[in-house]
Each structure stands twice: as C-alpha cells, then as structure tokens.
Amino acid sequence: MKPLLKFTEKIIEKKISRFGSIQTHIFLNWHFIAEQYAQVTKPESIKFYKQKKNEGLMVLKVQSAYGPEVQMAIPFLLNQINSRFGYKAISTIKIKQTDIGFLNKERTSDKDMNKEIDEVLISDQLEDEELKIAMRKLELSRKNLFQ
C-alpha cells in the first residue's frame, strides 16, 4: 500500500512542471528550504530573464508585520535555495507583505500563557518578577511562532 503523498506528489509535479524544474522544486520544498520562515512566507513567483535558468527573481509573500525579519533573512534564504542547485539559481528576492493566513490568530491570555510552559525557559532564571513576566511572554510568543 502506497502513501497518499506519493500519488499527490506526482499529480502536483505534472501540473506545475510547466514552470520548470527550478520553480517546481522551490514550490514543492519551500517548507524545507525556508525552515523557520516557512510559516510566515510563501513563494509567489519566480522569473528568469532572457531564457536563462540562473540569476532569477523570486517574489516572496510575507505575512504582514514579519517583513523586516524576513528581509534580514534574505541572505539565508538565497543560500538555502542556491545550495540545493549548486549554482546561483536565484539572485534576488523581493518581498510582498500581505496576509497569507498561515498564522494562528487566536491570542491567549497571560494566565493561559503561564500554563503552556512545558520546558525550561530563560525567564525562569531571572529574579526580577516584572522582567521575568515580560521575558516569558516574549519567549512563548516566539515559541508559538516557529513551531
């Protein structure tokens, strides 16, 4: 018995293979390429100029408010993409801030945040109670973002 992924992967590859192998590979493997940024980004398009298959332009949709963070991660993303191909397949990434709808928009209260702690946090080592609470909120928000 074959997993469903094997069938759907072939169907998807056939449908988007008209874009070319580079685009197909990037779109299908974005969650592996972008790693922690995959949750707040989504590739929109890839363009190559003058029938080249290198030095392309990639337009990347980014969840609103994460633009500056992703902007700083562009060298990382370029390295991740180009290391998969062994040459400079993509040379430029442009960011388009929009609501991509991947994030869980449900907010938790401060009391609920304290209940969600299931591992040791840096805030547990702080003595100042006010600083400890602020640091805990920050740690939990970062933890929820990149899970």
Distance (Å, whole) CA 142 – CA 55:
33
**Confidence at 102, pLDDT banded by 50, 70, 90:** low
- The residues spanned by each domain of the chain are 8-98, 110-145
pLDDT digits (tens, 9 = 90+) for 32-68: 999 899 999 999 988 888 777 788 999 999 998 899 9
Query: Alpha helix (H) ranges present in the chain?
Result: 4-16, 21-28, 30-33, 67-72, 74-85, 110-115, 129-145
pTM to 2 decimals?
Answer: 0.58
CATH fold for domain 8-98: Alpha-Beta Plaits (3.30.70)
